[in-house]
Chain A
Amino acid sequence: MKNNKKASPWNSIKVGLFSLLAMVIFAYGFQITKVNLEELRSENRQESLVRVTRALAKPEIFEYEQVEEIVNFPIYVPCPTDGSQAPVPEHNATEPYIVLTPSCVNPGEIIEVEGFNFAPFTVGPLRFIPGSDVTNVVSLGRENAETDADGHFLVSMKIPDRTSDDVQYIRATLRRNVGSPHFTQTARDTWNKIVETVFLALLATVFGTVLAIPLSFIAARNLMKTVKSPLTSISLSVLGWPIGILIGFIAVRWVGNLSASIGSNAWVNLASILLSPILAWIGLRWALPQEEINRPSQTVRLERLGVILLVVLVSFYGLFQLASLAMSAGKNLEASLGSFSFLGYFLFQVGDIVAIITPALGALAAGGTLSSFLGRLGQQGSERLPVSGIKILNLILTTVAGATVLGLVGQLVEWLYQIGEPMYTLWGPMAVGAGLGLLLAILSKPKESLPIGMVIYSITRTFLNALRSVEALVMAIVFVIAVGIGPFAGVMALGLHTIVSLAKLYSEQVESILAGPLEAIEATGANRLQTIIYAVIPQIVPPYISYTMYRWDINVRMSTIIGFVGGGGIGFLLQQNINLLNYRAASAQMLAIAIVVATMDYISSALREKVI
Chain B
Amino acid sequence: MLQIKNLTKIYDGGVKALDNVSFEVPDGQFLAVIGLSGSGKSTLLRCINRLIEPTEGQIIWNGEDITAASQDEMRRIRRKIGMVFQHFNLVHRSKVITNVLAGRLGYVNPAWSLLNRFPKEDIEKALQQLKRVGIAEKAYQRADELSGGQQQRVGIARALMQDPKMVLADEPVASLDPVLAHSIMTHLEDINKNDGVSVLCSLHFLDLVHRYADRVVALNEGKLVFEGLPKDIDDKKFKEIYGRDAERVG
**When the two chains form their complex, are residues A535 and B75 in contact, meaning their CB atoms are under 8 A apart?**
no
B113 x A519 contact (CB < 8 A): no
- In the complex, chain A residues whose CB is within 8 Å of the CB of B51: 519, 522-523
CA distance in complex: A526, B104 (Å): 8
Closest residue of A by beta carbon distance from B69: A383
Contacts of A379 in B (CB 8 A): 70-71
A268 touches B (CB below 8 Å): no
Contact A534 B113 (CB under 8 A): yes
A-B contact pairs, 29 of them (CB 8 A): A290-B118, A291-B107, A291-B108, A291-B122, A516-B89, A517-B92, A519-B85, A520-B83, A521-B105, A522-B51, A522-B78, A523-B49, A523-B83, A524-B79, A524-B105, A524-B106, A525-B76, A525-B79, A525-B107, A526-B102, A526-B105, A529-B114, A530-B113, A533-B116, A534-B113, A538-B93, A539-B91, A539-B93, A541-B93
B178 touches A (CB below 8 Å): no
Contact B112 A290 (CB under 8 A): yes
Chain B residues with Cβ under 8 A from A542's Cβ?
93
CA distance A290 to B78 in the complex (A): 18
- A343 on the B face (CB < 8 A): no
Docked CA distance A523–B158 (Å): 11
Bound-state CA distance A539–B102 (Å) is 15
Q: How far is the CB of A231 from chain B (nearest CB, A)?
A: 16
| Residue B111 lies at the interface, judged by CB distance under 8 Å to chain A | yes
Residues 358-380 of chain A: 1 if any B CB is under 8 Å from the residue's CB, otherwise 0?
Answer: 00000000000000000000011
Is B109's beta carbon under 8 Å from chain A?
yes
Say how far A334's CB is from chain B's closest CB, in angstroms: 35
Q: Does A292 contact B (CB under 8 A)?
A: yes
How far, in Å, is B54 (CB) from chain A's closest CB? 14
Q: Is B81 at the interface (CB under 8 A from chain A)?
A: yes
Q: Quick check: is A288 within 8 A (CB to CB) of the other chain?
A: yes
- Complex interface bits, A177-202 against B, C-beta within 8 A gives 1, otherwise 0: 00000000000000000000000000
Task: Please report the C-alpha to C-alpha distance between residue A538 and residue B93 in the assembled complex, in whole angstroms.
Answer: 6
Are the C-beta atoms of A516 and B112 separated by less than 8 Å?
Answer: no
B residues in contact with A533, CB < 8 Å: 113-114, 116
Q: 8 Å CB contacts to B: which residues of A506-526?
A: 516-517, 519-526
Task: Indicate if A300 sits at the interface (CB-CB under 8 A).
Answer: no
Q: Are A289 and B109 in contact (CB under 8 A)?
A: yes
Q: In the assembly, what is the distance between CA of A521 and CA of B94, in Å?
A: 13
Secondary structure at the A interface, as helix, strand, loop or mixed, is helix
Q: B83, B94, B155: which contacts A534 (Cβ < 8 A)?
A: B94
Once A380-B70, A517-B91, A533-B116 are accepted as A-B contacts, the answer to whether A525 and B162 lie under 8 Å apart by CB is: yes
| Chain B interface residue count, Cβ-Cβ cutoff 8 angstroms | 47
User: B91 and A291: CB pair below 8 A?
Assistant: no
How far, in whole Å, are A535 and B91 apart by their CA atoms in the complex? 6
CB distance B78 to A517 under 8 Å?
no
Instruction: Closest B residue to A521 by CB, please name it.
Output: B102
Known: A291-B108, A525-B162, A538-B91. A520 touches B85 (CB 8 A): yes
Q: How far is the CA of A463 from the CA of B47 in the complex (A)?
A: 37
Residues of A contacting B161 in the complex (Cβ-Cβ under 8 angstroms): 524
The reply on A36 being an interface residue by CB < 8 A is no
Q: How far is the CB of B142 from chain A (nearest CB, A)?
A: 10
Cross-interface CB contact of B98 among A519, A534, A539, cutoff 8 Å: A534
Q: Which residue of A lies closest to B79 (CB)?
A: A525
| Chain B, residue nearest A289 (CB) | B109
Q: Given the complex of chains A and B, what is the CA–CA distance between A533 and B70 in angstroms? A: 23
Separation of A525 and B79 alpha carbons in the complex (Å): 5
B162's nearest neighbour on chain A, judged by CB, is: A524
Which of A288, A293, A524, A534 sits near B109, CB closer than 8 Å?
Answer: A288
The yes or no answer to A418 lying at the interface (CB within 8 A) is no
Shortest distance in angstroms between A540's beta carbon and chain B's nearest beta carbon?
Answer: 10
B119 within 8 A of A: yes
Docked Cα-Cα span, A289 to B108, in Å, equals 8
Q: Which residues of B contact A288 (CB under 8 A)?
A: 109, 111-112
Give CA–CA (A541, B118) in the complex, Å.
22
Q: Are B105 and A383 in contact, with the CB atoms below 8 A?
A: no
Min CB distance, A300 to chain B, in Å? 14
The answer, yes or no, to whether B117 is at the interface (CB within 8 Å) is yes
Cβ of A288 to closest chain B Cβ, rounded Å: 5
Scan B196-221; emit 1 where CB is below 8 A from any A CB, else 0. 00000000000000000000000000
Which residue of A292, A526, A527, A538 has the most chain B CB atoms within 10 A of its CB atom? A526
A contact residues around B122 at 8 Å (CB): 291
Please report the C-alpha to C-alpha distance between residue A535 and residue B162 in the assembled complex, in whole angstroms: 17
Known contacts A524-B78, A529-B114; is-contact A293 B107 (Cβ 8 Å): yes
Question: A residues within 8 A CB of B76?
Answer: 525
Nearest Cβ distance between residue B232 and chain A, in whole angstroms?
32
* Residues of A contacting B81 in the complex (Cβ-Cβ under 8 angstroms): 523
CB-based closest 8 A-B pairs: A525-B106, A525-B79, A526-B105, A516-B89, A520-B89, A525-B78, A523-B83, A383-B70
Q: How far is the CB of A516 from chain B (nearest CB, A)?
A: 4
Instruction: Across the interface, name the chain A residue whose C-beta is closest to B121.
Output: A291
Q: How far, in whole Å, are A583 and B87 apart by their CA atoms in the complex?
A: 64
> Known pairs A526-B75, A534-B91. 5 more at Cβ < 8 A?
A290-B119, A379-B71, A380-B70, A519-B51, A534-B98
- The CA of A533 and the CA of B109, in the complex, are separated in Å by 13
Interface residues of B in 91-138 (CB under 8 A from A): 91-94, 98, 102-114, 116-119, 122
Instruction: Point out the residue from A289, A529, A538 that lies within 8 Å of B94, measured CB to CB.
Output: A538
Q: Are B75 and A527 in contact (CB-based, < 8 A)?
A: yes
Chain B residue with the shortest CB-CB distance to A541: B93
A211 to B76 Cα, complex, angstroms: 33
The smallest C-beta distance from B73 to any residue of chain A, in angstroms, reads 9
Q: Which residue of B lies closest to A525 (CB)?
A: B106
Q: Please give, as numbers and ranges, the residues of chain B lying within 8 Å of A383 by CB-CB distance.
A: 70
CA distance A520 to B81 in the complex (A): 11
Chain A, 534-553, contact with B by CB distance < 8 Å: what is the 0/1 string? Answer: 11001101100000000000
Residues of B within 8 A of A517 (CB): 89-92
Query: A524 vs B159: C-alpha distance in the bound complex, in angstroms?
Result: 8
CB-CB < 8 A to A292: which residues of B?
Answer: 107, 109
Give every chain B residue within 8 A of A527 (Cβ-Cβ): 75, 110
Q: Which residues of B contact A534 (CB under 8 A)?
A: 91, 94, 98, 102, 105, 113
Task: Write out the residue numbers on chain A whose beta carbons fall within 8 Å of the beta carbon of B83.
Answer: 520, 523-524
Complex Cα–Cα for A288 and B108 (A):
10
Give every chain A residue within 8 A of B112 (Cβ-Cβ). 288, 290
Q: Hey, which chain B residues are within 8 Å of A535, CB to CB?
A: 91
Within 8 Å by CB of B158, from A520, A522, A538, lies A520
User: A530 and B110: CB pair below 8 A?
Assistant: yes
Q: How far is the CB of B163 from chain A (nearest CB, A)?
A: 9
Which residues of B lie under 8 Å from residue A289 when comparing CB positions? 109
Minimal beta-carbon separation of B81 from chain A (angstroms)? 7
Question: Closest chain A residue to B68 by CB distance?
Answer: A383
CB-based nearest B residue for A380: B70
Residue of A with least CB distance to B111: A288
Most A Cβ at <10 Å: residue of B106, B119, B155: B106
